[in-house]
Amino acid sequence: MEVLGHLIFMLFKIGILASIYSLILIAIMTMINNLKKNHYLQKIIDNKKSSWFRFGLIISALLLIYSFTYWGNHGLGDGPRIPIGYWNIVDNTNWQFSNLKGYKDKDANEISISRFLTKDEFFCGKFDQNHFFYDFKNEYFVLNMRSNEIIEFSNKQVYNYYAVENKLPKASSLLTFEQNYHKYFGGWRFWLLP
C-alpha cells in the first residue's frame, strides 16, 4: 500500500513539474523570438496550448525515466535508498534497517549500518550493533568504493585515529540513514526533481 501511495504521489509531482517546466520553456522561446524572429518559434508560440501539452508530455516521460535511474531512484514506499557513488547504494527497510548493498564484513555478514557518511571515494560507517540478525565483531568500517577494499575498526578510538590520519569524517560526524536521505534528496532535488 505504501508503494502505491508513493507511486501516485510521484506521478502527481511529475505532472506538476512537467507543467511548470513546459511553461518556462515556452516563455524562454517567446523571449528568444522577441529578440530575433524565428518561423519555428513563432509556430510554437502561436499554438501555446498544444505546445505546452506536447512539451509537458515529453518532460513527464523524461522525469519518469530519471526517477528510476541510479541517481533519481529514492525507493518507493517503505524501501528508501540512497546512491552513494561508484554505483553503490544504501537501502533501508521501513526506515529502520540500513544495508550497504552488495558488501559483507570479514565474517561474511551482510553489512547493516546505523550511521554513515561518504567523502570522495570513501564510505565511512558504523555497524548496526542492535541488528537482531547479525552480530558484528567490530564497530566501524571504511569502504574504499573505488577498490572495494573494506577496513574494519574495533572501536571508536581506533576509527577516529584512522579518520584523522586520512582526512575522513570522525565517528561523531556520521549521520543516520534518514539524515543522509534528507541531505541527498532534500533541497533543490526535492523541489526540482521527482
pLDDT value at position 132?
Answer: 66
- How far CA 146 is from CA of 89, 113, 142, 169, in Å, comes to 14, 20, 12, 18
Which backbone phi and psi does 155 adopt, to 5 degrees?
Answer: -155, 180
The set of cell numbers assigned to 144 is 574504499
pLDDT, mean of residues 68-86: 91
Quick count: other Cβ atoms within 10 Å of Cβ 128?
A: 19
Q: How far is CA 63 from the centre of its chain?
A: 15
Question: Which of these ranges, 6-10, 16-20, 114-118, 130-134, has the smallest mean pLDDT?
Answer: 130-134
Amino acid at 182: H
Pairing between β-strand 81-85 and β-strand 88-93 as defined by DSSP bridges: antiparallel
CB 126 within 8 A of CB 174: yes
Instruction: Name residues whose C-beta falls within 8 Å of residue 11's C-beta, 6 or more positions apart in sequence.
Output: 64
pLDDT value at position 12?
Answer: 96
Q: How far is CA 61 from the centre of its chain?
A: 19
Task: Dump pLDDT digits (tens) for 22-75.
Answer: 999 999 999 988 888 888 888 888 888 999 999 999 999 999 999 999 999 988
Pairing between β-strand 149-153 and β-strand 122-127 as defined by DSSP bridges: unpaired
Q: Fill in the DSSP letter of residue 173.
A: G
- pTM value is 0.86
User: Torsion over CA of 71, 74, 80 and 82, rounded to 10 degrees?
Assistant: 20
Task: Dump pLDDT digits (tens) for 121-175.
Answer: 999 999 987 766 777 889 999 999 999 999 999 999 999 999 999 999 999 999 9
**What's the rounded Cα separation, in Å, for the pair 126 and 94?**
19
